[in-house]
Copies of this chain bind each other. A is one copy, B any other.
Amino acid sequence: MAKKSTPFEVADALHSVAIHLLRRLRVQDLASGIGPAKLSALSVLVFARHPLSLAALADAEQVKNPTMSRLVAAMERDDLVSITASSEDARAMEIRPTKKGERLLLAGKERRVNSLAKVLQDLGESELSQLEQSIGLLRNVIRRL
């Protein structure tokens, strides 16, 4: 049986693990030819399955509007997203991934996640489902953060 740990200790360990996990995965991001911030924003757009406003996208990515504004502008220049004015509100934009953006995201994501998936394949089925449950827990934790 595992030693009983305090929430502080678990938080500390979790923080450390998250840092080091991403640090390793960062290497794979390079092959996408697009930065991690753009890749992540593009991912939100692709999986949203409907257009998002700039503010909504900034919110989802936990960055400020000017930061997302710049990312979206760059992605539009690269033909990864298309921008149209909202029909109801001329101030607002509707941002969608282009076909090219969608293709790039899926390919990039595959490359990125594959190196992690390869290691996860060595885990047993029960370990994998345990990880999955923990991920579910963490999503709630993050929401309350």
Contact = CB atoms under 8 A, between A and B. Distances in A.
Contact of A129 (B2, B20, B113): B2
A15 B112 contact: yes
A58 to B, nearest CB: 12
A17 B135 contact: yes
A132 B7 contact: no
Interface residues of A, number: 59
B40 A121 contact: no
A131 B14 contact: yes
B2 A120 contact: no
Interface string A105-133: 00001101111111111110101111111
Contacts of A11: 113-114, 116-117, 120
30 contacts: A4-B129, A5-B128, A5-B132, A6-B117, A7-B118, A7-B120, A7-B121, A8-B110, A8-B114, A10-B120, A10-B135, A11-B113, A12-B117, A13-B132, A14-B131, A15-B22, A15-B25, A15-B112, A18-B18, A18-B22, A19-B22, A20-B62, A21-B142, A122-B144, A123-B137, A127-B137, A130-B130, A130-B133, A131-B137, A131-B138
